[in-house]
Amino acid sequence: MNRFDYIRPASVPEAVAAAAVPGSTYLAAGTNLLDLMKVGTMRPERVIDITRLPGLDHIEWLADGSVRIGAMVRNSDLAYDARFARTFPAVAEALLSGASAQLRNAATVGGNLMQRTRCAYFHDLASACNRRMAGSGCDARDGENRLHAVLGWSEHCIATHPSDFCVPLVALDAVAEVEGPHGARDIPVDLLHALPGATPERETALAPGELIVALRLPSEAASFSGNARYLKLRERTSYAFAVVSAAAALEIEGGLIRKARIALGGVAAKPWRAREAEAALVDMPASTEAFTKAAELALADALPSGDNAFKIELARRIVVRALNLALEGTPEVMPALPASPFSTTAGATHVA
């Protein structure tokens, strides 16, 4: 780990001013940043500690029915907030399926939005990685890549985004509130993370020095509370990132789908919103047949980036399964294995 300056500002404006200096990075819980610093993947010259900034650790219900979540709210506190879990159950399910209980107790909302890829080549300093060092190449292209992207990848980078939390956020039109050197602005979470294209080192839409101060979920997202699920397939049932995952939410009236939301995780460098698939479900009878067609649309542009063609069919099946689970209704009690396709209900199928 390199030597660095440590700064603890007393306010958001102070933090933004400090981070405007090149070589700076923000520190929240550090569950991702500190690991990257220890192995040398990140070598910041200035670490700006935001853990004691006032006003960033509250959940605030607004008059219009939306909710504003401070960037320093802990993942476990948000997932176990009774009102939040009841109103946005797929988000709570995603939070509880990520990492371990110890990490969820430390990790923050803002930090989760900003976590970086778990691609092994990104973390290995001996490997070429355009995301870590622009122009160095991408060893993942000809390496171990069975868990890499099948949507939105480029010849320069085939990494995937690791977050569970961000997948239902994208599906529900969540917005990140940002403060920066040039003032405040809102960024839809769907636009926060960037696809690699020719500049994979540019991972987010944030400008230098900008800080996520809050996350906002619109009141419209609450209309899906009765039929919303998050489903995650992983190589270990606990403590593993998604091979593929899906968030599905439905608004049903008279047996017909009035609104649908679908997003995928583990398939691209950002959470992947399947808008064409959503549109195809509107005014259709809620059925496995309709869900299967929607899944085909959701993965219509998918291509293997290496030894990972299996992920395309797997993602289709996860979308269908997630939609069927959403149709069954949000469970009153969180499953014993949140987001797992391996149901704890006797007699339930375990086939994705």
Q: Which domains does the chain have, with CATH numbers?
A: 224-328 (3.30.390.50)
Q: Rounded to a whole number, what is the distance in angstroms from the first to the last CA of the chain?
A: 42
Question: Which of the four pLDDT bands, split at 50, 70 and 90, describes residue 100?
Answer: confident
Q: Is residue 223 helix, strand or coil?
A: helix
C-alpha span between 38 and 136 (Å, rounded): 21
C-alpha span between 38 and 3 (Å, rounded): 11
Quote the pTM value.
0.95
Statement: residue 264 has pLDDT above 60: yes
From residue 161, give the alpha-carbon distance in Å to each of 45, 224, 291, 342: 25, 25, 25, 23
C-alpha span between 221 and 240 (Å, rounded): 28
C-alpha span between 340 and 343 (Å, rounded): 7
Beta strand pairing call for 211-217 and 175-180: antiparallel
Give pLDDT tens digits for 217-250. 999 999 999 999 999 999 887 678 999 999 999 9
Give pLDDT tens digits for 331-344. 988 887 888 887 55
pLDDT, the chain, mean: 95
Quote the pLDDT of residue 336: 77
The DSSP annotation for 21-56 comes to STTEEEESS-TTHHHHHHHTS---SEEEE-TT-TT-
